[in-house]
Amino acid sequence: MLLNEGQIHLFEHWPEPGADDDKKRRFFDQVRRLNSSYPGGLVSYIQNAKKLLADSKAGKNPYDGFTPSVPSGEVLNFGDDNFVSLEAAGIKEARNAAFVLVAGGLGERLGYKGIKVALPRETTAGKCFLQHYIESILALQEASCKMVDDGCQTKIPFVIMTSDDTNALTIKLLETNSYFGMEPSQVKLLKQEKVACLADNDAWLALDPSDKYKIQTKPHGHGDVHSLLYSSGLLEQWKSEGRKWVLFFQDTNGLLFNAIPSALGVSATKGYNVNSLAVPRKAKEAIGGITKLTHVDGRTMVINVEYNQLDPLLRATGHPDGDANCETGYSPYPGNINQLILELGPYIEELKKTHGAISEFVNPKYTDSTKTAFKSSTRLECMMQDYPKTLPPSAKVGFTVMATWLAYAPVKNNPEDAAKVPKGNPYHSATSGEMAIYKANSLILRKAGAQIADPVVDTFNGQEVEVWPRITWSPRWGLTFKSVKEKVHDNSSVSQRSALVINGQNVFLEGLSLDGTLIVNAVDEAEVKLTSHVQNKGWTIQHVDYKDTSEKEEIRIRGFKFEKVEQLEVNYTEPGKHSLSA
């Protein structure tokens, strides 16, 4: 098969039969794996590569014939009546959902050595992203079951797509933390395989420079999640259990679950087969733009145009300024945050046709303008948000826009690159990712009626950010705006230098006036009212330089740490009514 596809170079250096037999077997083991993990096998891979490489050499625009325009979608305003009723609709549906986290990427832009889901979401409570995601799914499960009140025993399935780069560390993180409270049977890991690298325009497979019996491989992209789900049989299993929705999300967005209930509510009430979450996008921001594409033949689709392609597409279609902000100060194209909600039934029907194969692209770096040689080997890639590209025009494809402060704060850029981001554009760093949690929680409490002090501005690792009071809570406390509002009363206040951690479901802010650090831990059966003035020296923020190797990497990348000078920590372990008074 390899010879038929013009790959004789793979064998040219082989010695006579009998020599290097173990290495030759190992080579074919790898070939077998590469063949079975790609829809259509290696023959398809090589043929697709030849076509895409020829198109790339010819400078063919993948959007040839398409004109972009600004699509219209659902725009939600946090906390208004529509938002609250959509959240309620979403919570009701959550028991029929399954969650899929794509976490196969190494996060090269962040330069962090471990897996990104093990990073702290914020360092006040110190929980990692994976813990927060699992606790959020469990909170949704509990709230959804309570809402239908039929003694529901449903367990929301949680799939994590890993890769060779992340699989072992993800398993270790789950096992050493008892799956963060989730039943291990609820969690399934699907490992994506890398794909073969391509050495030239003829799609010759590249050999590993350090091992001539090994084909060099690189990641194929998050689009693999569809074929893996299809071949795992999980989709059919979920359908037989009566599930209706599959929610996809990425590794480091600590705000995402603020947006899940209402977005799921939009999917359910609008009957969307595909619903993408979006936020207002700054021109040149490294997130795709959701765009309506109209072909000369009349076809239209609403789809993500990736950040590196939006500018050339706009310039080629009569927008000389390319990817630019409009009078609102934002790009007119909403920013894709790669949180997709797919309706399970139509998703399965589509995958039966495609087997989960997603439209691919290739991005070779050529040595010169003749485009005859590559600087280094390349490979085909695919993106999960390209799923709607193969859908028929009858498919209901929509999107939901929410405020960035509420829904999107990824951790992707290392401190040096973040500091170079154009002024006014988001940093997408560990610093901004953590500060965004405090801002969102402060604004949510404000909207619920509490008096939360204004932020101060400070600079960490060269990034100027707003520092709000360090307020954080477990997902079971504040899953929806309604649940927060029920627990917060007007006369509570938190000063700017304060930190407040709430772990417990029935903790009420009733006249709390906090100036310092307060940590409240309460069992479910305890009903705790925070009614008094709490004052102490609290936790101060210390600057940390990212080059300071005496600090842990997860601290260095955020540029600050807390000095825990004084705090009040209260633990309510007994059922009944309690109140924290002076």
In whole angstroms, the minimum distance from the beta carbon of 418 to ligand UGB comes to 14
In whole angstroms, the minimum distance from the beta carbon of 327 to ligand UGB comes to 24
CB atoms within 10 A of CB 304: 28
- Identify the three-state secondary structure at position 533: strand
Tell me if 156 sits within 8 A of 97, measured CB to CB. Answer: yes
216 binds ligand UGB (CB under 6 A): no
The interface region with ligand UGB, picked from 49-57, 213-221, 266-274, 541-549 by CB under 6 A, is: 213-221
Tell me if 535 sits within 8 A of 568, measured CB to CB. Answer: no
In whole angstroms, the minimum distance from the beta carbon of 569 to ligand UGB comes to 34
Q: Distance between CA atoms of 232 and 244, rounded to whole angstroms?
A: 18
- Closer by beta carbon to ligand UGB, 247 or else 507: 247
Q: Distance between CA atoms of 388 and 101, rounded to whole angstroms?
A: 19
The interface region with ligand UGB, picked from 197-205, 239-247, 332-340, 571-579 by CB under 6 A, is: 332-340
CA 420 to centroid of chain Cα atoms: 23
- Closer by beta carbon to ligand UGB, 246 or else 522: 246
CA 469 to centroid of chain Cα atoms: 25
Q: Distance between CA atoms of 582 and 568, rounded to whole angstroms?
A: 11
- Closer by beta carbon to ligand UGB, 347 or else 408: 408
- Closer by beta carbon to ligand UGB, 291 or else 304: 304
Spell out where 25-139 has E strands: 66-69, 74-75, 97-102
- Identify the three-state secondary structure at position 103: coil
Could you say which of 55, 142, 306, 527 contacts ligand UGB (CB under 6 A)? 306
Alpha helices in 95-223 (DSSP H): 129-148, 167-176
- Closer by beta carbon to ligand UGB, 227 or else 480: 227
What the block records as the tokens of 253 is: 């967005």
In whole angstroms, the minimum distance from the beta carbon of 107 to ligand UGB comes to 7
What the block records as the tokens of 181 is: 């409270």
- Closer by beta carbon to ligand UGB, 107 or else 157: 107
Site for ligand UGB in 379-438 (CB under 6 A): 383, 385, 410, 412
In whole angstroms, the minimum distance from the beta carbon of 135 to ligand UGB comes to 19
What the block records as the tokens of 438 is: 């405090």
262 binds ligand UGB (CB under 6 A): no
What the block records as the tokens of 548 is: 């300071």
- Closer by beta carbon to ligand UGB, 186 or else 192: 192
- Closer by beta carbon to ligand UGB, 179 or else 249: 249
442 binds ligand UGB (CB under 6 A): no
The contact mask relative to ligand UGB for 75-114 (x = CB under 6 A, - = no) is ---------------------------xxxx---------
The interface region with ligand UGB, picked from 219-227, 314-322, 527-535, 548-556 by CB under 6 A, is: 219-227
In whole angstroms, the minimum distance from the beta carbon of 84 to ligand UGB comes to 26
CA 427 to centroid of chain Cα atoms: 16
Comparing C-alpha atoms, which of 218, 148, 160, 216 is closest to residue 187? Answer: 160
In whole angstroms, the minimum distance from the beta carbon of 161 to ligand UGB comes to 5
What the block records as the tokens of 362 is: 């290739």
In whole angstroms, the minimum distance from the beta carbon of 436 to ligand UGB comes to 13
- Total residues in contact with ligand UGB, by rule CB under 6 A: 23
The contact mask relative to ligand UGB for 335-354 (x = CB under 6 A, - = no) is -xxx----------------
Please report where in the chains the tokens 């005859």 appear, as a residue.
Answer: 372
Residues 6+ apart with CB under 8 A from 320: none
In whole angstroms, the minimum distance from the beta carbon of 266 to ligand UGB comes to 18
CB atoms within 10 A of CB 577: 10
Site for ligand UGB in 283-302 (CB under 6 A): 287-288
Rounded to 10 deg, the angle between the 256-270 and 129-148 helix axes is 40
Question: Which residues contact ligand UGB by CB under 6 A?
Answer: 102-105, 161, 163, 219-222, 250-251, 287-288, 304, 306, 336-338, 383, 385, 410, 412
